[in-house]
Amino acid sequence: MPADHEKIKAFVRACHKIGDYGLLRCSSGNLSWHIGDGLALLSASRSWLPELTEQQVSICRIETDECINDVKPTCETVFHLGILRQRKEVNVVLHFQSPYATAIACGEPADYNFNVIIEVPVYIGAPAVVEYLPPGSPELAQATIEAMREHDMVILRNHGLVTVGKDFNDAIQKAVFFELACQILLTQRQYVPLSPEAIPWLRAAGKA
């Protein structure tokens, strides 16, 4: 077996944890994890992450996108593996569709200042926005890979979100905090963002 069984079980637990945090609906979203030796685990095509089984974990070569265990991976495999290739410090890529963040993705993200809680500048930074492109398309994959060069959160218009992390908790934390910020933006009529003077200090604290 090219992937340790314990790693497959850890991947499945992470998928269920993502579901527990309310970051997905049914078959929306997908996850990848760089496990070393040039390999990544990915959720299977059309699988439900909150209910993922060990038989729904695909093993792929990061450099070639080749699936080596006959489990068809997510249709977004190209951007998952492309991000892992270009961001060597990243081990996890999470595509999610939490309610409030997805609602903002279906509107005009440029209208919002996401710095309403300290966790956004500390852990996430400014999100990038990718205009709508068909899911699973080469165009969407390339646009997402390019956007992720300089960002840790990408808003896919009329689709969802993509974030990254050094491990599962890092990626999940970013998704959860971004969802919280979007919830505040959409439910608090008189929200007050952090002052521009506070942002550089918070971003520096996040890198410390």
Q: What is the pLDDT of residue 112?
A: 96
Q: What is the pLDDT of residue 2?
A: 67
Q: At what angle do helices 5-20 and 168-187 cross, to 10 degrees?
A: 10
Q: Are 133 and 140 in contact (CB under 8 A)?
A: yes
Please list the residues that pair with 165 across neighbouring strands.
Answer: 92
Q: CA 126 to CA 139: how far, in whole Å? A: 23
Q: What CATH number is associated with residue 157?
A: 3.40.225.10
Average the pLDDT over 104-118 and give the result.
97
- Residue-wise pLDDT for 28-75, tens only, equals 999 999 999 999 999 999 999 999 999 999 999 999 999 999 999 999
Beta-sheet strands, E only, within the chain: 30-36, 39-43, 57-61, 92-96, 128-130, 153-156, 160-165
Q: CA 104 to CA 98: how far, in whole Å? A: 10
Whole domain around residue 175: which residue ranges?
Answer: 5-207
Residues contacting residue 149 through CB under 8 Å, at least 6 positions apart: 86, 87
- Angle, CA of 45, 66 and 157, to the nearest 5°: 45
The continuous run of DSSP H or E covering 36 comes out as: strand 30-36
- Angle, CA of 94, 72 and 129, to the nearest 5°: 30
3-state secondary structure of 42: strand
Percent of the chain with pLDDT over 70: 99
Q: What is the pLDDT of residue 4?
A: 87
Q: CA 190 to CA 208: how far, in whole Å? A: 32
Q: What is the pLDDT of residue 160?
A: 97
Length of the chain (residues): 208
Q: What is the pLDDT of residue 51?
A: 97
Query: What pTM, to 2 d.p., does this model score?
Result: 0.95
Residues contacting residue 111 through CB under 8 Å, at least 6 positions apart: none
More confident: 122 or 4: 122
pLDDT tier, 118 (very low <50, low <70, confident <90, very high otherwise): very high
Average the pLDDT over 68-83 and give the result.
96
Task: Check pLDDT > 80 for residue 3.
Answer: no
Q: How many structural domains does the chain have?
A: 1
Q: CA 58 to CA 80: how far, in whole Å? A: 13
Task: Check pLDDT > 60 for residue 1.
Answer: no
- Residue-wise pLDDT for 119-176, tens only, equals 999 999 999 999 999 999 999 999 999 999 999 999 999 999 999 999 999 999 999 9
Task: Check pLDDT > 70 for residue 182.
Answer: yes
- Angle, CA of 75, 154 and 29, to the nearest 5°: 35
